[in-house]
Amino acid sequence: MGSRRIAIPVFQDRVSPLADGARVLAVWNCHGRRLTTRGSLAIPLDEPGPAARRLVENGIDLLVCGAISRVLGEALELAGIQVRSGLSGPVDAVIAAVVQHPGSPPDLSLPCWHGWHSRPATGATDTLPVEPHRPPPGKGSPGPP
C-alpha cells in the first residue's frame, strides 16, 4: 500500500453529520495501515467546485464523512478524490477503523445508511413508490360516523 492523505470533516471532535456544512477537516498522512501525521485544514465544503479544488491542492486522496450531498460527492469524485460516506463517531475511532479495516465497521456506520451514490443506475427514481391507503380487511371504507 502506498501513501494516502485522508480528510474527515469534524464537528466537536466527531465526524460531522453532514460534510457539506463542515468548515474544518482533520487530515492525516497515512502509509499503508499506519497513520504518520495529523493536521487540520479550514476548508468550507458548502461550494462543491471550490471545495474540490482546495482538497486537490492539499493532496487529499480520500474524504471520510457522515452524510454528503450528491453534488459535493460527485464534484469530489470527478476531481479524483475517493469518498467514503456513512460513518459516524469520534474522529479518532473512525480514522483508526478506516485505516485498519477495508469495510465499514457496523458500529461506526450511520443507522440505515445506504450512501449518496447507492442509487441503481438503471432508471431508478429519487422517490419510493407510495402505496394508496386501503382500509383493513372487513372494515369498509373510512368515512364520517
Q: What is the pLDDT of residue 44?
A: 87
Digit-coded pLDDT (tens) for 31-41? 988 898 899 99
Residue 101 to residue 17: CA distance in whole angstroms:
21
Q: Which domains does the chain have, with CATH numbers?
A: 3-105 (3.30.420.130)
CA distances from 60 to 28, 70, 77, 79 (A): 9, 19, 11, 10
Q: What is the pLDDT of residue 138?
A: 59
Cell 450512501, residue?
115
Residue 9 to residue 31: CA distance in whole angstroms:
21
Segment 74-92 shows an average pLDDT of: 93
Cell 413508490, residue?
129
| Mean of the per-residue pLDDT values of the chain | 78
Q: What is the pLDDT of residue 97?
A: 87
DSSP 3-state of 142: coil
The pTM score is 0.74
Q: Which of the residue ranges 48-57, 86-95, 96-105, 107-116 would you say has the lowest mean pLDDT?
A: 107-116
